[in-house]
Structure formats: structure tokens, C-alpha cells
Amino acid sequence: MASTTTFFLYLIFLLCSTLNFIPLEAPPPDFSTKVTYDPDSDLYIASYSIGTPPQNVLAFVDTASDVIWTNSKTAFKSASSTTYAALPCDDKSFCQKLNQKTCKIRSNQNCTYKIKYSDQASTSGVISQDKFSFDAKVDVGILKFGYATDTSPNYFEGKDINGCLGLSGITPFSFISQLGIKKFSHCFVKTSSKSTTMYFGSKAVITAKDSIPLVDTKYYYVKLNGISVGNTIVNLTNQPGRIYVDTGATYSRLKKAVYDPFLKLIKEEVVKPVAKSPHDFLEFCFKATKAEVDNLPKVTFQFADNKVNVSFVNGVTYLEFDGGVWCLAIIRSTDSESLLGNFQLANLNVGYDIGGKLISFTNMNC
């Protein structure tokens, strides 16, 4: 029996060699990271380590960013890591795909990058690689990231935020694509005194009954079918189209064709004294008590051919200012895209099933 088994295994080996069989890579390990709200930047901050020995990094989580980066001035020091390396320009697997136009292919030139965000914040530096580890000292391996030598604005220089964990699905740059992660989830709370856990892998919290098809897994787009305020549906001339999840943006934004009729209905439903807006981008403000705001009609986004509805509590629909002034915290987009920002995602468990091309939104006391 033993000799027959050995011969059979030998045949399999010969067959695999002939067909140039390449075994499938093992899935990445399950891991997690603590996430905390930073009131200075209105971003959610994850904690992890880079290098050998490990150096702690605090980075904002951004589902619409492609690249991981960390600040060389305030967080990670490459000279202190024995596993650090800068990528050369002739690196075809990463650098040439990221920086084809500006990176001249010379063996002695490092691969550089520059990112400019929609709010005009920016970061630039050298594409590098090093070991990454997460909660419970889980080593996830060598990852490529931006070693930032210049950042703007000032909150990128602070002790509370010194990098970005790019969680888009863009290949090969993002954290998700580099590790081949198929599932992750987060549940934000808008207080700096409490952390929640972001899960990667099989422990990600994804609710089947609340799942919506992803129409794009590079960025997390879903089809928005409609919007209602209380029992009244926003009168839209055309379908509202796609909307994507952007944890790196504070407020949700709706494109003009959707926002104008939405704002009109909000003003009809919220019968309160109009107040002066403290910021130009907040177009509708009013005076009310917290109890009155809690009793206002709720805003609901309708997805998946109206099979899945996500109702936002009024605490994330309206933003409170001094003197009993409240402002609508869903704002007008400055381009043709609509997005779900992190203010509205508070106390929603968001589960990303990339392999199944699904995303779930579940109201939860995070």
C-alpha cells in the first residue's frame, strides 16, 4: 500500500511539473486593529506597526485611497529598521505601474510618489517596503508603502495621525490588494474616548440580510435607487446612480441632480427657524433643541432595488453647533460623484465581502 501511494504521488508531481502547476497562495491570516475617532481631523485612526523592531504608526483608514503611506518625520524612521528597503524605479511589479510618467528608469533612482486629495491635502515621498504587524503582534508580511518626506496640512504632522491605510481595491497598490484580503469590516463610534475593532479576514462582520451588490470593487460603489425623508420620497428626475463608501471623507456628498431635490424636501420637512450657517458648505441650518432634532423625519437611502434600506439616525444627519444651531451634514458634491462619508457611517457596521462582491450596512450600537 505504501509503495502504491508513493508511486501515485510521484505521478501527481510529474503531472504538475509538466503543466507548470503553481500552488495557490495561502490566504492572509485573520487579524484586527483598533480604530479611534480623531476630532481634530474628523478621521478614524488605526494603529499598527512597521519595521524590525516594530515602530507604532497611527494612520487614518481610507476606503477610497490606493496607497499606504506613513510620515517619516513623526512616525516611522527607516534607519531604525533592519528590514526596510526603498524601491528602485525599475521595479516593474509596483513602481512602474504607480509612477510611469515621472519615474525615470535608472538603477540608482528611488521610486517616488505624490498624492493629492480632493480637499487639497497632499503627501509625497519614496515608495518603500517593510514588515507590517497588527493587533496581537500578527505579522502580515512585507508590504509596499509610501515613506512620506512631505505632507500637508498640519494634521498629517500631528501625534494623533501620521499616515494612511489605503483600503481601496486597486491592484497592486492598496493594503487590501497587496494582502489579497477578501473580507473586512468596521463599526465607527464618533468619540475619541472609545475604540472599536476593524476586522480583516474570516472574523469580518458581514450581515447577509443587509447586503448590497457592489458594482465596482476597485472603489466600493453601490447602486443608489432612491432617498426618502420620513415617509416622503425625494422627487428625482433621473435615477440617482452610483454612490461609493469613502471613510476618508467626513460628510456624505450628493451630486447636484440628487442634492437639489433632496435639499428641497429637507427644507419642507424640517419646519424650524432658519439659522445662519457657520460654514459655506453647510447649506441648511436651523435652530432646535436636541429632543426636537431626535424627532425629525429620518433620512433613508434605498439600495438593491429598494430591498435594502439604510436609515440614518438624526445624530449623524445633522451637525450641532453652539447656540442650538443644527446644520444638515449631508452636503453638495463638488463633482459628478456621490459618496458616503464617515460622519454618516457612525454606528453602522459596514462589512465588505470583496470575493462575493457584496457590502452590508447594519445599524448597530458599535
Q: List the CATH number of the domain containing 79.
A: 2.40.70.10
Domain co-membership, 251 together with 170: no
Q: How far apart are CA 111 and CA 15, in angstroms?
A: 41
Report whether pLDDT(22) > 50. Answer: no
- Whether the full predicted model's pTM is greater than 0.85, yes or no, is yes
Q: How far apart are CA 23 and CA 25, in angstroms?
A: 6
What are the pLDDT digits (tens) for 131-161?
999 987 899 999 999 999 888 766 565 557 8
pLDDT score for 288? 97
pLDDT score for 158? 52
Rounded-to-10 torsion of CA 95, 98, 100, 106 = -20
Mean pLDDT, range 320-334, rounded to an integer: 96
Residue 70 lies in a domain: yes
Residue 12 lies in a domain: no
Mean pLDDT is lowest, of 79-93, 158-172, 179-193, 296-310, for 158-172
Q: How far apart are CA 344 and CA 169, in angstroms?
A: 22
Look at 296 and 20; give whichever has higher pLDDT.
296
Residue 8 lies in a domain: no
Do 225 and 304 meet the contact criterion of CB atoms below 8 Å apart?
Answer: yes
Q: How far apart are CA 82 and CA 131, in angstroms?
A: 10
Domain co-membership, 132 together with 103: yes
Domain co-membership, 233 together with 156: no
Number of domains in the chain: 2
312 phi, psi to nearest 5 deg = -95, 130
Q: How far apart are CA 220 and CA 66, in angstroms?
A: 12
Residue 212 lies in a domain: yes
Q: How confident is the model at residue 328 (pLDDT cuts 50, 70, 90)?
A: very high
Domain co-membership, 134 together with 151: yes
Domain co-membership, 191 together with 225: no
Q: How far apart are CA 26 and CA 323, in angstroms?
A: 57
Report whether pLDDT(201) > 80. Answer: yes
Mean pLDDT, range 154-173, rounded to an integer: 80
Domain end among 179, 203, 227: 203
Cell numbers linked to 175: 493594503
Domain co-membership, 232 together with 190: no
Q: How confident is the model at residue 15 (pLDDT cuts 50, 70, 90)?
A: very low
pLDDT score for 3? 37
For the chain, the residue count is 366
Structural domain range at position 225:
208-361
pLDDT score for 99? 60
Report whether pLDDT(104) > 70. Answer: no
Domain co-membership, 194 together with 228: no
Look at 189 and 110; give whichever has higher pLDDT.
189
Collapse the DSSP code of 128 into the 3-class scheme (helix H, G, I; strand E, B; otherwise coil) and give the result: strand
363, β-bridge pairs: 348
Domain end among 171, 203, 235: 203
* Residue of 230, 248, 224 whose CA lies nearest to 301: 224
Look at 12 and 241; give whichever has higher pLDDT.
241
Cell numbers linked to 285: 441650518
pLDDT score for 274? 96
Report whether pLDDT(169) > 50. Answer: yes
User: Cell 510611469 identifies what position?
Assistant: 100
Domain co-membership, 192 together with 289: no
pLDDT score for 157? 55
Report whether pLDDT(350) > 80. Answer: yes
What are the pLDDT digits (tens) for 58-83?
999 999 999 999 999 888 999 999 99
Q: How far apart are CA 297 and CA 229, in angstroms?
A: 6
* Residue of 102, 115, 120 whose CA lies nearest to 145: 115
Residue 60 lies in a domain: yes
pLDDT score for 29? 80
CA angle 101, 117, 200 (to 5 degrees): 100
Mean pLDDT, range 290-317, rounded to an integer: 93
Report whether pLDDT(88) > 80. Answer: yes
Collapse the DSSP code of 334 into the 3-class scheme (helix H, G, I; strand E, B; otherwise coil) and give the result: coil
Average pLDDT over the chain, rounded to an integer: 87
Domain co-membership, 181 together with 50: yes
Residue 19 lies in a domain: no
The alpha-helical segments, DSSP class H, found in the chain are 2-18, 95-98, 175-179, 256-269, 290-294, 314-317, 342-345
Percentage of the chain lying above the pLDDT 70 cut: 88
Domain co-membership, 141 together with 121: yes
Q: How confident is the model at residue 305 (pLDDT cuts 50, 70, 90)?
A: confident
Mean pLDDT, range 122-139, rounded to an integer: 91
Mean pLDDT, range 46-53, rounded to an integer: 95
Q: How confident is the model at residue 343 (pLDDT cuts 50, 70, 90)?
A: very high
Domain end among 172, 203, 234: 203
Residue 304 lies in a domain: yes
pLDDT score for 117? 81
Domain co-membership, 152 together with 255: no
pLDDT score for 92? 79
Domain co-membership, 199 together with 270: no
